[in-house]
Amino acid sequence: MTISRRELLLSFVVAGATASAASIAPLRYKRALGIEDVELASSPARPIRLDHNENAFGPSPRVVAALNEDLSINRYPKAEIDSLTDQLAYFHRARREQIVIGCGSTAILRACAALFLGPGKTLVMAEPSFEPMAQYARVARSAVVTVPLTRLYYHDLPATRTRISEKTGLVYICNPNNPTGTVTARKEIEEFLNGLPPTVWAIIDEAYHPYINPPSRETSFIDNPVSNPRVIVTRTFSNLYGLAGMRIGYAYTSPVTAEQIRARGLDAEPGVSALRAARIALEDQDYARRTIIENANARQEFFNQAVARRLQPMDSAANFVLLYIDGCLEVAEHFQRHGILVAADFPGLAQSIRVTLGRPEEMKEFWRVLDLKASLGPI
């Protein structure tokens, strides 16, 4: 059977892109090799994915249209890397020498762990936070020093400062934090960075920063940077721009530190199609803004539904919400049996599940399944 370029693309790109750029109303999946629209049906074999913080609304239709027109998979990515680097520098009002592109922001995190850590070094980070960062440190044969979040689940930066020693090579701050969705005040982070020893580098992971409501360039350390040349700010196209499957991320830092990261080597170069998708997604800020609004509405509706059931959600600023709930592992297993995947079992958060905000029909099914669990016994 011959597969057309359009059919091949549909097997690669996140399904659900609408043909109209003017709306991001609930999207539908398309069969990879079919022509008709089909409503999403949840089942254990085809689950609703609310566990990986992906953008449920998919990428910009302009991205899908451009890739459908020209995949360019026969070309090496050098020209597209240069083009995206220039575009990111313009977008963030930075110099191109300050931008590092990687296969997802995780590739940059791994490179930083390899560069600034090693035997005898320590990584200092919050717990709970983005656990892969700790894994990258251990791969680099470094110790991981964790600091509990505050009572309100912000980064405890005064306590973090006390854990920094002559062995510390790297500090990691995820803001908004994953899995809590909480935002630590910029002023507190600035004060912390000002007190860092000259031998310590700091990563500020802003993967979910675009979802902060209201969005503000002033709160970001990439759009409103500090003068410390050892501060590295990471972003990703996986969340807001709906390109998780294409693995595109980037970092902003000083030219010297950026060159060190490049020289240390990243895992691989992103492909041409991924780079082109990122470039077009960055151009389509109207769609990005509408996605932010849709996410804010979905987040508020999640709060409303949770409170109506006398459940307690954490005040998230991201595209996911942590929901306090007894027996979280049992609840997660209940959801899985009914075709919905959620995340659970985070350190220090034994009685909670993390729920990625899905499309309206997905969230309707989420609450139906949760109500079913409640009908079988207290939650």
Q: How far apart are CA 134 and CA 377, in angstroms?
A: 37
**Is the predicted pLDDT of residue 313 greater than 90, yes or no?**
yes
**Is the predicted pLDDT of residue 317 greater than 80, yes or no?**
yes
Average the pLDDT over each of 87-96, 265-274, 325-334 and give the range with the smallest value: 265-274
**Per-residue pLDDT, 225:** 94
Structure tokens at 41: 């049906």
Structure tokens at 142: 């470094």
Q: Do the beta carbons of residue 54 and residue 359 sit within 8 Å?
A: no
Structure tokens at 359: 């499309």
Burial class (CB within 10 angstroms; exposed 0-12, middle 13-18, buried 19+) of 8: middle
The one-character DSSP state at 314 is -
Domains of the chain: residue spans and CATH: 5-59+285-376 (3.90.1150.10), 69-283 (3.40.640.10)
Q: What is the CA radius of gyration of the chain?
A: 21
**Per-residue pLDDT, 29:** 25
Letter for the amino acid at 200? V
Rounded (10°) CA dihedral 49, 55, 60, 61? 20
Nearest one of 274, 284, 234 to 257, comparing CA atoms: 234
Nearest one of 58, 46, 5, 9 to 281, comparing CA atoms: 58
**Per-residue pLDDT, 215:** 65
CA distances from 105 to 91, 284, 292 (A): 18, 21, 20
CA distances from 281 to 84, 240, 260, 286, 312 (A): 11, 10, 28, 10, 35
**Is the predicted pLDDT of residue 181 greater than 80, yes or no?**
yes
**Is the predicted pLDDT of residue 378 greater than 80, yes or no?**
no
Q: How far apart are CA 193 and CA 366, in angstroms?
A: 41
Letter for the amino acid at 67? L
For 231-265, how does the pLDDT look when each residue is reduced to its tens digit (9 = 90+)? 999 999 999 999 999 999 999 999 999 999 998 77
**Per-residue pLDDT, 78:** 83
Burial class (CB within 10 angstroms; exposed 0-12, middle 13-18, buried 19+) of 329: exposed
For 25-59, how does the pLDDT look when each residue is reduced to its tens digit (9 = 90+)? 332 222 222 223 334 456 666 899 999 999 998 99
Q: Is the Cα torsion angle 221, 223, 227, 230 positive or negative in sign?
A: positive
Beta strands in 93-161 (DSSP E): 99-102, 122-127, 143-148
Q: How far apart are CA 161 and CA 163, in angstroms?
A: 5
pLDDT band at 71 (very low <50, low <70, confident <90, very high): low
Task: For residue 191, give the H/E element and its range.
Answer: helix 186-194
Instruction: Return all residues near 173 (Cβ < 8 A) that are at least 6 apart.
Output: 125, 126, 155, 184, 189, 202, 203, 204, 205
Q: How far apart are CA 176 and CA 297, in angstroms?
A: 18
Q: How far apart are CA 361 and CA 375, in angstroms?
A: 21
Q: How far apart are CA 121 and CA 298, in angstroms?
A: 42
The whole-model pTM stands at 0.86
**Per-residue pLDDT, 43:** 65
Kindly state the greatest CA–CA separation across the chain.
Answer: 64
